[in-house]
Amino acid sequence: MDLKLVDCFLRVVEAGSINKAALDMEITQPALSRRLNALEHDLGIQLLVREARGVKLTEAGTLLYNGARPLLRQAELLRDELGREARTQVSIGLPFSMHRLVTAPFAAAEIPSRSAVSLRIYEGFIHHLREWMQQGLIDVAIMDVEEGSHHSPLHDQTPLIREPLLLVGPVDAGLRPDRPASPEKLGACKLILPGRPNLVRKSVDAYLKQHGQKFRRAADAETLQLCLSLVKDGLGYTVMPYCAMHDFPQMGELSATPIQGLHITWSLYVSQARRHSAGVRSTAQSLQRMMLGLVERGEWPLAQAVVEAKG
């Protein structure tokens, strides 16, 4: 199977039509159609149904689409290991909650300074990051420490930062950092959170159950920005770490307090298969230094380092 043809197939699926993909790839529509036909001929099965408004995946096409990204990623890594690329590609994955505090500043600092490393940055919910790391799509990730989980042979794990989860309400709720919320207080609040398997939702569910409280749902909102906006409008409360609230444009219209005994520990994960790569090692070390530096300088309120910065 020609991986260049597989890449063409992915580009068409993501664009939604052969014409749009051809424009994006700067080739002609007939040339791209010939490549798709060649791939289908090679595999002996139809992958796409051509329709007037675009393309539709067949069952076989869906199977290829779901499995192709890890396949292409592994091919990139193999080329890298064989020395066929001058630049090492390093893929990192960070949670949506760290976009303003960590991800964007890290990318802005690293991209101009790394001529020998090509960064690919993924953002997602924790369960997505975990899945992508298991698939080999990302080399370095920041994820929570799973309680009771066994060490995985697929990656190294270094706990970095521990921070409380915060109960967040509208400004007139009067929540204060020096008055932590009790389990009873949390149980009395109507909550706006993403649905399972979201990490915070699972943590809140387990915490309330442990303390004999029930989860009171105001609404399910699947983005952090929407959760905060609905809370600002007085429609309920939400729960999140400080890093998710950092630099929220309307912070003055919110109030927040730590929840007693409810924390999250952020860990640095590095792929075992890629840990020997100098580019992967240096990227992981830079990310660790940057995050611990935020805590040391007091720019990550309520967070505590659980490992010392290196170098």
pLDDT at 96: 95
Which among 81, 105, 129 is the end of a domain?
A: 81
125 within a domain of the structure (yes/no): yes
pLDDT at 143: 96
Cis before 197 (ω within 30): yes
Structural domain span for residue 203: 162-264
Judge if 183 and 232 occupy the same domain: yes
Judge if 260 and 176 occupy the same domain: yes
Judge if 140 and 120 occupy the same domain: yes
CATH code, domain carrying 220: 3.40.190.10
Long-range own/partner contacts, residues 279-283 (CB < 8 A, 24 or more apart): 279/88, 279/89, 279/90, 279/114, 279/116, 279/117, 280/88, 280/90, 280/139, 280/140, 282/117, 283/90, 283/92, 283/110, 283/114, 283/117, 283/119, 283/139, 283/140
Which helix or strand (DSSP H or E) is residue 24 part of?
A: helix 18-25
Name the pLDDT band for 103 (thresholds 50, 70, 90).
Answer: very high
Q: Cα–Cα distance between 256 and 258 in angstroms, integer?
A: 7
Judge if 207 and 241 occupy the same domain: yes
Judge if 132 and 275 occupy the same domain: yes
pLDDT digits (tens, 9 = 90+) for 202-219: 999 999 999 999 999 999
pLDDT at 207: 97
178 within a domain of the structure (yes/no): yes
Specify the higher pLDDT residue, 73 or 255.
255
Does the pLDDT of residue 271 top 70, yes or no? Answer: yes
Judge if 17 and 142 occupy the same domain: no
pLDDT at 2: 76
Does the pLDDT of residue 29 top 80, yes or no? Answer: yes
Judge if 37 and 110 occupy the same domain: no
- How many domains does one find in the chain? 3
Amino acid in position 290 = M
- The mean pLDDT of 160-177, rounded to a whole number, is 96
Contact between residue 140 and residue 271 where contact means Cβ atoms under 8 Å apart? yes
The top-scoring range by mean pLDDT among 83-87, 136-140, 188-192 is 188-192
- The mean pLDDT of 223-234, rounded to a whole number, is 95
pTM of the prediction?
A: 0.73
Which among 48, 81, 114 is the end of a domain?
A: 81
76 within a domain of the structure (yes/no): yes
* pLDDT, mean over the chain: 89
Please, which residues bridge with residue 161 across strands? 266, 305
311 within a domain of the structure (yes/no): no
Tokens 């020998």 found at: 116
pLDDT at 87: 58
pLDDT digits (tens, 9 = 90+) for 87-97: 578 999 999 99
Does the pLDDT of residue 44 top 90, yes or no? Answer: no
pLDDT at 26: 84
Residue 12 has which token pair?
Answer: 């068409």
185 DSSP 8-state letter: H
How far is residue 304 from each of residues 264, 265, 293, measured CA to CA in Å?
Answer: 11, 9, 11
How distant is the alpha carbon of residue 6 from its chain centre? Answer: 25
Which among 61, 81, 101 is the end of a domain?
A: 81
pLDDT at 84: 47
- The mean pLDDT of 265-278, rounded to a whole number, is 89
CATH code, domain carrying 13: 1.10.10.10
Name the pLDDT band for 51 (thresholds 50, 70, 90).
Answer: confident
310 within a domain of the structure (yes/no): no
97 within a domain of the structure (yes/no): yes
Judge if 95 and 134 occupy the same domain: yes
Name the pLDDT band for 170 (thresholds 50, 70, 90).
Answer: very high
Judge if 156 and 170 occupy the same domain: no
Judge if 31 and 157 occupy the same domain: no
Specify the higher pLDDT residue, 153 or 179.
179
Judge if 183 and 258 occupy the same domain: yes
How far is residue 89 from each of residues 137, 178, 279, measured CA to CA in Å?
Answer: 11, 45, 8
Does the pLDDT of residue 6 top 90, yes or no? Answer: no
Judge if 94 and 127 occupy the same domain: yes
pLDDT at 286: 95
